[in-house]
């Protein structure tokens, strides 16, 4: 779920998947024969760039997962190979998909410890940014942490929670939790702030910005606060939420959310750059570079 509002399939997704079918659950065999030499070269470039940037920035759990998965072969990884490691570490697997898939299908996969990964890779001219998730975001960004047992359980629980939130009609609240943890979460350690969110870890510029910029807010993790906070999909984040460890995240999300959704429904929604009275502020952003007219 990379946060789809009403959604039209992007051109690149259509082009890459021409002639390829998927099953009812939206999975497909990874079409290894479709990767060109240029794809492998672009993967290598992206991989090496992030591998050089992330020590001292990504959390240890992510760095350990990266090593454990052995994605470091200088070419686009084969899912079958990764699945051996992943399956024996935490019982998760990755499955290939065309691109974004419907929420309920996505949740169902997560609830069964299957992580849907877009099989195709961005092209050279999109190296620094593309709007839709590709294999570099989905695989490099998300899958190393699935080697960690606590995070692995969190994501499975999220999948089950997603199915329930969908039934209750409160998906926007739960989607914010995914956004501010799985995609853009930071972790406090004795050595300083570290990144665990995949949306950051798959981006060179946000890997630096999220830790070093004085512009954004950095606020202690608070489940209900997050579920009330809008987010931006078109800029760097205005606020990052910081956990102390993965067990905290797991424990905070274990209770049944049904009554929480009920009580939040009556409360105002916060803008992406707002601070609130209950916030445990780690850094109050100076908002530099945010235009006044921007709806944050």
Residue 47 interacting partner from ligand PHE, Co ion, none (CB closer than 5 to 8 Å by kind): none
98 catalytic? Reply is no
CB 185 within 8 Å of CB 191: no
Instruction: Give the shortest CB-168-to-ligand PHE separation in angstroms.
Output: 9
Angle in degrees, 0-180, between the axes of helices 79-90 and 149-168, rounded to the nearest 10? 100
Residue written as tokens 């200088």? 74
Residue 126 interacting partner from Co ion, ligand PHE, none (CB closer than 5 to 8 Å by kind): none
Instruction: Give the shortest CB-36-to-ligand PHE separation in angstroms.
Output: 38
253 interacts with ligand PHE by CB under 6 A: yes
Residue 248 interacting partner from ligand PHE, Co ion, none (CB closer than 5 to 8 Å by kind): none
256 interacts with ligand PHE by CB under 6 A: yes
Q: Which residue's CB is nearer to ligand PHE, number 177 or number 193? A: 177
Residue 44 zone, left/alpha/beta (φ > 0; ψ -120 to 50; rest): alpha
Burial class (CB in 10 A: 0-12, 13-18, 19+), 88: exposed
User: Which of 95-103, 146-154, 198-206, 266-274 is the region at the interface with Co ion (rule: CB under 5 A)?
Assistant: 198-206
158 interacts with ligand PHE by CB under 6 A: yes
Size, binding site for ligand PHE by CB under 6 A: 11
109 catalytic? Reply is no
Size, binding site for Co ion by CB under 5 A: 2
142 catalytic? Reply is yes
Instruction: Give the shortest CB-132-to-ligand PHE separation in angstroms.
Output: 24
Task: Name the H helices within the chain.
Answer: 11-16, 37-53, 60-69, 79-90, 103-111, 135, 149-168, 171-178, 198-201, 204-212, 223-227, 246-252, 258-265
262 interacts with ligand PHE by CB under 6 A: no
Helix (H, G, I), strand (E, B) or coil at 6: coil
217: Cα within 13 Å, side-chain hemisphere: 20
133 interacts with ligand PHE by CB under 6 A: no
Instruction: Give the shortest CB-1-to-Co ion separation in angstroms.
Output: 7
137 catalytic? Reply is yes
Residues linked to residue 281 through DSSP beta bridges, in sequence order: 219
Distance CA 255, CA 250 (A): 10
164 interacts with ligand PHE by CB under 6 A: yes
Residue written as tokens 């090593």? 67
Instruction: Catalog residues that contact ligand PHE under the rule CB under 6 A.
Output: 154, 157-158, 161, 164, 177, 253-257
Q: Give the catalytic positions in this structure.
A: 137, 142, 183, 202
């Amino acid at each position: 779920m990379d946060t789809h509002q009403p959604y039209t399939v992007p051109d690149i997704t259509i082009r890459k998947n021409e002639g390829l079918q998927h099953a009812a659950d939206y999975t497909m065999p990874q079409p290894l024969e479709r990767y060109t030499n240029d794809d492998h070269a672009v993967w290598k470039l992206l991989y090496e760039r992030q591998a050089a940037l992330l020590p001292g920035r990504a959390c240890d759990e992510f760095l350990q997962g990266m090593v454990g998965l052995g994605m470091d072969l200088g070419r686009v990884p084969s899912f079958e190979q990764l699945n051996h490691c992943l399956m024996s570490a935490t019982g998760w697997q990755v499955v290939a998909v065309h691109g974004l898939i419907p929420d309920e299908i996505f949740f169902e996969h997560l609830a069964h410890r299957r992580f849907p990964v877009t099989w195709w890779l961005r092209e050279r001219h999109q190296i620094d940014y593309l709007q839709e998730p590709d294999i570099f975001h989905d695989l490099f960004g998300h899958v190393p942490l699935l080697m960690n047992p606590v995070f692995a359980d969190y994501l499975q629980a999220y999948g089950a929670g997603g199915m329930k939130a969908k039934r209750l009609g409160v998906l926007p609240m739960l989607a914010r939790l995914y956004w501010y943890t799985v995609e853009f979460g930071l972790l406090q350690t004795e050595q300083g702030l570290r990144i665990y969110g995949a949306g950051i870890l798959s981006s060179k510029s946000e890997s630096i910005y999220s830790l070093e910029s004085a512009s954004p807010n950095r606020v202690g993790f608070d489940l209900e606060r997050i579920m009330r906070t809008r987010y931006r999909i078109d800029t760097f984040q205005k606020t990052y939420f910081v956990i102390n460890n993965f067990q905290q995240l797991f424990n905070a999300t274990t209770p049944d959310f049904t009554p929480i959704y009920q009580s939040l429904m009556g409360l105002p929604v916060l803008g992406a750059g707002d601070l609130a009275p209950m916030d445990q502020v780690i850094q109050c952003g100076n908002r530099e570079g945010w235009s006044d007219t921007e709806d944050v």
